[in-house]
């Protein structure tokens, strides 16, 4: 589907923003300079008739993104958690995108459920409701199991959602190609690879069997986490386009009035959201990667209940340790050590100056320590961060985009619950605990024991492997090539080991 026809898609995107009035709102929220506003107006105004009209009852930006399709809606969901970047009014408008989108009909949902589960809906469920929540990819109905009477939530994919996402992603690929062609400096950020990664994540989210598996694994990992829980999946009533889970009572994390009316401690909730995310990422290496307000509920007992497990992130053991050491260095204001970790891992080219890099990190970190979160401008911080990363030749690591994005989203949720939260103070106990357990003598002993177990499994094959190596090294002129190949192989293995953590530094600085 990729091709020149996607130019029309991009033109229509700009035209839709202009026609719905979203262009001006976005430029105002981002405090765009006057020259950019003039260019946008001169180009956008004559083309606005090409744009999609959308629902006039909705606010301008919500109206535009909803009209443009699910991928744009996903982008709006992320921005809804950043009032410090887009402003409180625009953030409030965008929150509608999380779980209050126009639903499709109950009748169509019943058809999808019956087709997916292979039997009439009335044989499985009683009292299937009208849609209770509708998001960009699916909507949710409440019902009761005929067999037990237990109340459940049924998640159903939107009809035709796969094709709709494909159209948006194809247009994004074209955008990335144009950006790379017109701006050589942007190539270090690898826009095309970023879109490719996004495509993989989204297409995985469109198979609810994978989401069910992720929810089950997440529930097992977090079973003992105080104040946090995950609803149980009903595997017998789930499939590719339908997922059934326990119903969750509670108020949305986005409903500030309901949270206050229930008497919940907002500071405690804000800290818990951030600490739970860090714990899941560092301790388990498996974290909820779409933790916006619409996917979190506050249960009557004060527990935070996570929903929607279509996007989950993973971190290998090595990356977790590097990430924790960098984060711990920032918490302790040890910028020299943070810089050394970057160089040791190869995240920054060896020909750069470690002292200069440490000073650049200090310039990013120092202004935000001890400050009230309401006084921190993430927009200015991001601008300076990109200047620093470009100057020191750091590249985007697509495998950690989810971690980077989720850190931004989680911080936004925590701030909305407690505007005065200090993310560094809240993060410190979680990171210290991980450092103690995974970067000290005990961790070294565990690593050695694991290595010994691996060698023991391969013990019977070691003589054979040694003989094969000797034979290869003794072959005529290939001996030198073999040695060179081994050196290259070891080098590639080392690079593969450290490459996964490059995005951790960017994530930390962004959040």
Q: Which of 70-74, 187-191, 414-418 shows the highest mean pLDDT? A: 414-418
Burial 41-76 (b: 16+ CB within 10 A, else e): eeebeeebeebbebeeebbbbbbbbbbbbbbbbbbb
Residue 488: the pLDDT is: 45
Q: How far is CA 476 from CA 139, 471, 472, 480, in A?
A: 67, 10, 9, 9
Residue 496: the pLDDT is: 33
Active-site choice (99, 168, 225, 290): 290
Residue 453: the pLDDT is: 73
Mean pLDDT of the chain: 79
Residue 306: the pLDDT is: 96
Could you say which DSSP state residue 293 is in? G
Q: Is the pLDDT of residue 259 over 50?
A: yes
Q: Is the pLDDT of residue 401 over 90?
A: no
pLDDT in tens, 117-153: 999 999 999 999 999 988 878 999 999 999 999 999 9
pLDDT band, very low/low/confident/very high, at 162 (cuts 50, 70, 90): confident
Mean pLDDT of 383-393: 66
- % of the chain beyond a pLDDT of 90: 29
Q: Give the separation between CA 333 and CA 365, rounded to whole angstroms.
A: 8
* Torsion angle (degrees, nearest 10) of CA 288, 294, 298, 304: 0
Which of residues 166 and 32 earns the better pLDDT score? 166
pLDDT in tens, 54-94: 888 888 888 888 888 877 887 777 666 566 556 667 777 77
- For the chain, the structural domain boundaries read 6-99, 102-135+137-247, 253-439+475-511
Name the token pair of 145: 């199991």
pLDDT in tens, 346-356: 778 888 899 99
Residue for token pair 């040694």: 466
Q: What's the pTM?
A: 0.72
290 a catalytic residue: yes
Confirm if 55 and 90 have CB atoms less than 8 A apart.
no
Q: Is the pLDDT of residue 51 over 70?
A: yes
- % of the chain beyond a pLDDT of 70: 76
Residue for token pair 């974290």: 287
């Amino acid at each position: 589907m990729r091709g020149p026809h996607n130019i029309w898609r991009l033109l229509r995107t700009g035209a839709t923003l202009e026609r719905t009035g979203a262009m001006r709102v976005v430029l105002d929220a981002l405090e765009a300079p006057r020259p950019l506003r003039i260019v946008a107006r001169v180009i956008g105004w004559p083309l606005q008739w090409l744009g999609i009209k959308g629902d006039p009852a909705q606010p301008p930006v919500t109206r535009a993104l909803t009209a443009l399709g699910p991928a744009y809606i996903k982008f709006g969901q992320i921005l809804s958690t950043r009032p410090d970047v887009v402003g409180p009014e625009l953030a409030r408008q965008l929150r509608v995108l999380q779980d209050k989108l126009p639903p499709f009909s109950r009748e169509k949902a019943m058809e999808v459920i019956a087709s997916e589960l292979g039997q009439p809906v009335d044989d499985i469920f009683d009292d299937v409701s009208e849609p209770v929540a509708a998001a960009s990819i699916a909507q949710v109905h409440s019902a009761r199991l005929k067999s037990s009477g237990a109340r459940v939530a049924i998640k159903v994919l939107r009809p035709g959602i796969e094709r709709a996402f494909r159209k948006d992603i194809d247009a994004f690929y074209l955008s990335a190609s144009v950006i790379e062609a017109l701006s050589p400096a942007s190539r270090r950020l690898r826009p095309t690879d970023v879109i490719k990664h996004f495509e993989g994540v989204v297409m995985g989210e469109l198979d609810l069997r994978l989401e069910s598996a992720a929810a089950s694994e997440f529930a097992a990992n977090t079973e003992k986490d105080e104040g946090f829980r995950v609803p149980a999946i009903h595997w017998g009533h789930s499939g590719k386009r339908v997922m059934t889970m326990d119903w969750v009572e509670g108020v949305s994390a986005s409903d500030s009035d309901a949270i206050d009316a229930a008497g919940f401690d907002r500071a405690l909730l804000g800290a818990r959201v951030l600490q739970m995310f860090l714990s899941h990422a560092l301790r388990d290496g498996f974290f909820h990667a779409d933790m916006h307000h619409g996917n979190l509920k506050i249960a009557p007992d004060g527990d935070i209940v996570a929903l929607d497990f279509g996007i989950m992130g993973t971190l290998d053991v090595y990356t977790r340790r590097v990430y924790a050491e960098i984060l711990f260095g920032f918490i302790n204001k040890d910028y020299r050590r943070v810089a050394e970790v970057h160089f040791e891992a190869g995240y920054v080219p060896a020909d750069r100056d470690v002292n200069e890099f440490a000073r650049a990190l200090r310039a990013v970190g120092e202004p935000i320590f001890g400050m009230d979160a309401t006084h921190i401008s993430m927009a200015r911080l991001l601008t300076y961060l990109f200047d620093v990363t470009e100057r020191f030749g750091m590249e985007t690591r697509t495998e950690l985009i989810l971690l980077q994005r989720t850190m931004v989203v989680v911080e936004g949720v925590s701030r909305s619950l407690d505007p005065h939260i200090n993310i560094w103070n809240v993060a410190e106990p979680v990171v210290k605990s991980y450092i103690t357990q995974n970067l000290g003598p005990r961790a070294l002993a565990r690593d050695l024991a694991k290595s010994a177990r691996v060698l023991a499994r391969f013990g019977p094959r070691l003589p054979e492997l040694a003989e094969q190596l000797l034979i290869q090294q003794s072959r005529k002129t290939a001996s030198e090539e073999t040695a060179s190949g081994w050196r290259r192989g070891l080098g590639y293995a080392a690079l593969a080991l450290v490459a996964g953590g490059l995005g951790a530094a960017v994530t930390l600085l962004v959040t």
